[in-house]
Amino acid sequence: MAEICQVCNKKIGFLDSDIEIGKIHMHHDCLATFEADPKKYGGKAKKELTPSEEDQNKEERSKAMVLTDIDLPFGRVFWVTVQFFGAGLVLAIPIWLIIFLIAS
């Protein structure tokens, strides 16, 4: 079913990138025009935020964690490395034996 862009009133083709906001279909390129005046195209007007609401909104969006350092003791890292090497040998030796038995 071919949709009609409600901003520019042109057909939205199969290969065109389109956006659906609520029940409003539009081309991706028409998004800026829609956001400039959403009431004109049947959307809801943006609510203007007071400075305190804007600061609170920024704080809510910016809650994130940045990992900058990992403090691991050398002995623990060395033991995990030895375990990894040992597990590799346990897996590799039987595989090599099977390959030599098949090849011979």
Distance CA 62, CA 64 (A): 6
Q: Where are the domains of the chain?
A: 3-46, 73-104
Average pLDDT, the chain: 81
Tens-digit pLDDT profile for residues 15-72? 777 778 777 878 878 888 888 878 787 777 666 656 666 666 666 666 677 888 888 8
- Give CA angle at 41 (39, 47), nearest 5°: 25
Model pLDDT, residue 33: 83
Q: What six digits make up the tokens of 5?
A: 């862009």
DSSP code at position 26: E
Give φ, ψ of 25 to 5 degrees: -100, 135
